[in-house]
Amino acid sequence: MSTGSPLDPQTSLIAIMVMLSAADSDMTDQELFAIGEVVRTLPIFRGFNEDGLVHATDHAATIIDETDSLDDAVAVARAGLPDHLCETGYALACEIAAADGAVAEEEVRALEIIRFGLGLDRLTAAAIERCVRARHQTL
């Protein structure tokens, strides 16, 4: 499948998570585990064959490699998402950023690019970020 072919919504969401994880050039085990956990547990992935996760993550990596920038890679993923799933895509990117307990500067920049590419306003993004931060609090 070339980057010119539209992705299905589930693969687009996985691609967004992989893009965020790869943003700092260090896809941690925690981030990869979090992607798998999201696919196994969230309603948006009901009916998604978990065996297809490896293929979807490989495809996302190919998109990143074949596009000129993260902006272009996000545009490919965005093309496969219906409008009502853009907030979901951003929320999943935030979940992956928070998965390893530290958000690197490159990940912050990647979140900005993803937010812009998905067409989310700053207030909506801030609300999503705050929810994710609340979910990942520790004692």
Domain positions in the chain are: 9-135
Token pair 């992989």: residue: 18
HSE value, Cβ hemisphere, 13 Å, CA-based, for 19: 36
The answer to whether residues 102 and 41 touch, using CB atoms and an 8 Å cutoff, is no
Per-residue confidence (pLDDT) for residue 25, from 0 to 100:
80
The answer to whether residues 31 and 21 touch, using CB atoms and an 8 Å cutoff, is yes
What gap in Å lies between CA 112 and CA 90, rounded to an integer? 10
Q: Which CATH fold would you assign to the domain 9-135?
A: TerB-like (1.10.3680)
Q: Flag residues of the chain having pLDDT under 70.
A: 1-5
17-40 pLDDT tens trace? 999 998 888 788 899 999 999 999
The answer to whether residues 23 and 93 touch, using CB atoms and an 8 Å cutoff, is no
DSSP 105-116: HHHHHHHHHHHH
Per-residue confidence (pLDDT) for residue 1, from 0 to 100:
38
Tell me how far CA of residue 30 lies from CA of 46, 63, 66, 118, 129, in angstroms.
22, 22, 26, 25, 19
Per-residue confidence (pLDDT) for residue 37, from 0 to 100:
94
- Within 10 Å of residue 48's Cβ, how many Cβ atoms? 19
Per-residue confidence (pLDDT) for residue 4, from 0 to 100:
54
Does pTM top 0.95 for this prediction?
Answer: no
